[in-house]
A and B are shown apart, each in its own frame.
Chain A
Amino acid sequence: MNFNLVLLMPEIALTSAAGLAILVDAFSPRGLSRRFLLWIAGGGIAISAALALRLLGTNTSAFNGAIAVDDYAVFFKLLFLAATLLVLLAADTFMEETRHRAEFVGLLLLATTGLMLLAAAMDLITLYISIEISSLSIAFLSAWDKRGLRSTEAGLKYFLLSAMSSAVLLYGMALLYGLTGHTRLDLIATQIGQGPNAALFLALAMLLAGFGFKVSAVPFQMWTPDVYEGAPLPITAFLSVASKAAGFAATVRVLQIALPTSQTDWTVLVAALAAATMTVGNIVALVQTNMKRMLAYSSIAQAGYVLVGVAAASQLGVSAVMFYLLAYTATNLAAFIACIAIFNLTDSEQIGDLRGLRWRSPWLAFALAVSLLSLAGLPPFVGFFAKLYVFWAAADRGLLWLVLVGVVNSAVSLYYYAQVIHDMYITGIGGGEPGVGDPVTTLGPRRPSPGLSTALTLAVIGVLVFGVLSGFFFGIGDVAARTVAR
């Protein structure tokens, strides 16, 4: 029995920060100020990150095998903490307008705790509960803007569909438990016999369906556009990066540790999911006119590229997945935070209303352009290297057709990303100079807050630095990947 609490300190620190924020707010007569809450949350995140860093290289399992404390988990924990910090900074304006700020911050921190545990889960029970922790808090956070009907709809939709997917996931886990008599991933692997087994295949399919919901892979993506559109934008950003990355972290761990013997089965399934996800996401994104929905479909397509790396099923594949998620987190956060700032200025979510943005606020236009180009996978941005590694890993395993599908999809995606950039930089009313009817110049009451600017700057720096130093960061992922991949 290993009850070494040191191994759990990052999560404990974050949970304590959440509790502190909520309790201090409840007992202070006028409620806490936004600044104070940010200090508590930021402090919690910093302490948690420091404690997580100390666990690097520990590579053990804790609490009777319930969670793993390996470099793979620590990598993802740091990623989630960084993403949460940026989301909190970006939520500046939103928090100013909403009530229950302390609870908002608290639930966001608890959601992050759930994601951190999900990335570390080594046992089906822990895995399931951490999925529920994150899903439930995200559902509440999506519905936070109670005056907006769409926010409520987003929360309800996310809640119902995540409950549905949890049921499927649980059924898969039950089959796995029935087949092996264990809930621990490493013990499951020892009990699974060789050879075809219909129940195992069904369990695998159901697990993939459950995780597919979390990472919004086609055909489990239906909720994505509506929830992304309806939820408060900071939460959408959180959902699109941290929640998705945690879903992938858990998928890879379960597939690599518990089910290595049925690798041929899941390679086929995941490759099919990847091809479908990339294609559907990109094609539907082509016709979107709403920026949020466009980014939603774009994030579906991005999940497809990550799945290519998962299908590669090698150490190279795992490290490619990790690097892709790092790149995607920085890039997508930059895109969403830029959108928050732009929507605050224009009060419109239509892509067409971005016309002439470069005159109105050149810095926001630049940030959005960089992140979109990175999402499209153009060098020298980080998105290019991320795709390169993922495709390389797939090609290495002989999945050439999948690489081909991916490359074609990248080309297709360039069209809609470039469309936005074209609107911002080239199209202007009257052929260039800002005119009277230009949407961006006529509106614009709210300038970006300091927190929002900081978050955007950090995210864009991330996109640029990760791109320039891609070899270094890929190397970090490669070392960490060794703890789960064989």
Chain B
Amino acid sequence: MIAPTEALVAGSFYTFAAIALAGAIGVVLARKVFHSALFLVLTLASLAATFVILGADFLGAVQIVIYVGAITVLILFGIMLTPRNVELPESSGVGRSTAGVFVAAAVFIVSTTVIVTSQWPRSMSTPIPDRPTTEAIGQGLFTTYALPFEMASILLLIAMIGAIVIAREEQ
């Protein structure tokens, strides 16, 4: 095992953050839906890596299992079932894309300014916990967060029933 030095942690964080951003930009700019989906895989996987770097190893693995392994596979599956070579329209008017860029820039500037200038109660350089988080998460789900956990299962039940009804053929 290697001791995670400060430089190593910072270096890997910035690397994965950059990859995640590049992937996100790729999702938006790619002309083929399939390419967008592949860029999404890149972004989600890099996010999993940043979770791990921040000490949330369980979440990182779950992110891979659920988002990379299941959700993007479903997205790709859906794309394959749609007619081939569907390209996104050139652009839906210059006005709309300008507005999009403007809104995105505004959100970025406002949130960055706020995050940088605000007084946060906790220091940003909290040491990364060096212990497994799995057990703590399990304990939390069955004690403190038992109700939200059960509610989430109702949510999934609704999603399942609804999806079956919507997808089922009318006879």
Contact, chains A and B (beta carbon distance below 8 A): yes
Residue B117 CB within 8 A of the other chain? yes
Per the 8 Å Cβ criterion, residues 114-128 of B in contact with A are 114-115, 117-122
Q: Is the CB–CB distance between A181 and B118 below 8 Å? A: no
What 0/1 readout, one digit per residue, does chain B (140-159) give for beta carbons within 8 Å of chain A? 00011111100110110111
**Inter-chain contacts of B132 with A (CB < 8 A):** none
What 0/1 readout, one digit per residue, does chain A (127-163) give for beta carbons within 8 Å of chain B? 0011011001101100110110000000100000000
Q: Which of A15, A103, A191, A202 contacts B154 (CB 8 A)?
A: A15
Per the 8 Å Cβ criterion, residues 63-112 of A in contact with B are 63-64, 66-67, 99-100, 103, 106-107, 110
Q: Is the CB–CB distance between A198 and B117 below 8 Å? A: yes
Residue A57 CB within 8 A of the other chain? no
- Nearest residue, chain B, Cβ from A128: B148
**Inter-chain contacts of B154 with A (CB < 8 A):** 15, 110, 113-114, 133
**Inter-chain contacts of B159 with A (CB < 8 A):** 136
**Inter-chain contacts of A144 with B (CB < 8 A):** 165
Contact A179/B143 with A110-B157, A136-B158, A140-B166 known, Cβ cut-off 8 Å: no
Q: Which of B110, B158, B159, B166 has the most CB of A within 10 A?
A: B158
Alpha-carbon gap, A67 to B146, bound state (A): 12
- Nearest residue, chain A, Cβ from B117: A198
Residue B87 CB within 8 A of the other chain? no
Q: Is the CB–CB distance between B162 and A140 below 8 Å? A: yes
Q: Is the CB–CB distance between A107 and B161 below 8 Å? A: yes
Residue A285 CB within 8 A of the other chain? no
Per the 8 Å Cβ criterion, residues 166-210 of A in contact with B are 175, 178-181, 191, 193, 197-200, 202
Q: How far is the CB of A146 from chain B (nearest CB, A)?
A: 6
Q: Is the CB–CB distance between B121 and A123 below 8 Å? A: no
**Inter-chain contacts of A198 with B (CB < 8 A):** 113-114, 117-118
What 0/1 readout, one digit per residue, does chain B (90-114) give for beta carbons within 8 Å of chain A? 0000000000000000000011011
Q: How far is the CB of A4 from chain B (nearest CB, A)?
A: 11
Q: How far is the CB of A408 from chain B (nearest CB, A)?
A: 32
Q: Is the CB–CB distance between A137 and B121 below 8 Å? A: no
Alpha-carbon gap, A15 to B145, bound state (A): 19
**Inter-chain contacts of B113 with A (CB < 8 A):** 198
**Inter-chain contacts of A63 with B (CB < 8 A):** 146-147
Contact A64/B144 with A126-B151, A199-B118 known, Cβ cut-off 8 Å: yes
Q: Is the CB–CB distance between B155 and A133 below 8 Å? A: yes
Q: How far is the CB of A139 from chain B (nearest CB, A)?
A: 8
Q: How far is the CB of A178 from chain B (nearest CB, A)?
A: 6
Alpha-carbon gap, A126 to B159, bound state (A): 18
Residue A452 CB within 8 A of the other chain? no
**Inter-chain contacts of A67 with B (CB < 8 A):** 147
Q: Which of A66, A103, A136, A139 contacts B147 (CB 8 A)?
A: A66
Q: How many residues of B contact A (CB 8 A)?
A: 31
Q: Is the CB–CB distance between A3 and B146 below 8 Å? A: yes
Q: Which of B111, B143, B158 contacts A133 (CB 8 A)?
A: B158
Alpha-carbon gap, A281 to B33, bound state (A): 38
**Inter-chain contacts of B158 with A (CB < 8 A):** 107, 110, 133, 136-137, 140
Q: How far is the CB of A103 from chain B (nearest CB, A)?
A: 5
Residue A22 CB within 8 A of the other chain? yes
Contact A107/B144 with A126-B151, A129-B151 known, Cβ cut-off 8 Å: no
**Inter-chain contacts of B121 with A (CB < 8 A):** 179-181, 191
Residue A1 CB within 8 A of the other chain? yes
Contact A136/B111 with A130-B151, A199-B118 known, Cβ cut-off 8 Å: no
**Inter-chain contacts of B115 with A (CB < 8 A):** 199
Residue A375 CB within 8 A of the other chain? no
Q: Is the CB–CB distance between B161 and A103 below 8 Å? A: yes
Q: Is the CB–CB distance between B117 and A117 below 8 Å? A: no
Residue B170 CB within 8 A of the other chain? yes
Alpha-carbon gap, A62 to B143, bound state (A): 12
Q: Which of A99, A129, A139, A191 has the most CB of B within 10 A?
A: A129
Q: Is the CB–CB distance between B146 and A179 below 8 Å? A: no
Alpha-carbon gap, A84 to B62, bound state (A): 38
Q: Is the CB–CB distance between A199 and B114 below 8 Å? A: yes
Alpha-carbon gap, A113 to B165, bound state (A): 20
Q: Is the CB–CB distance between A1 and B147 below 8 Å? A: no
**Inter-chain contacts of A222 with B (CB < 8 A):** none
Q: Which of B114, B143, B148, B152 has the most CB of A within 10 A?
A: B148
Residue A465 CB within 8 A of the other chain? no
Residue A418 CB within 8 A of the other chain? no
Alpha-carbon gap, A117 to B152, bound state (A): 12
Q: Is the CB–CB distance between A117 and B151 below 8 Å? A: yes
Alpha-carbon gap, A107 to B144, bound state (A): 28
Q: How far is the CB of B12 from chain A (nearest CB, A)?
A: 23
Alpha-carbon gap, A88 to B159, bound state (A): 21
Alpha-carbon gap, A111 to B2, bound state (A): 51
Would you list 19 pairs from A and B whose C-beta atoms are within 8 A, ordered by A residue?
A8-B147, A63-B147, A64-B147, A110-B157, A125-B145, A126-B147, A126-B148, A132-B155, A133-B158, A136-B155, A136-B159, A137-B158, A144-B165, A146-B166, A146-B170, A198-B113, A198-B114, A199-B120, A202-B110
Given A103-B161, A132-B155, A181-B122, 11 other A-B residues pairs in contact with their CB atoms under 8 A: A62-B147, A66-B145, A110-B154, A126-B148, A136-B162, A146-B170, A147-B170, A155-B166, A198-B113, A198-B114, A202-B114
- Spell out B's residues near A (CB within 8 Å): 110-111, 113-115, 117-122, 143-148, 151-152, 154-155, 157-159, 161-162, 165-166, 168, 170-171
Q: Which 8 A-B pairs have the closest CB atoms?
A: A140-B162, A199-B118, A63-B147, A66-B147, A129-B151, A125-B148, A198-B114, A202-B114
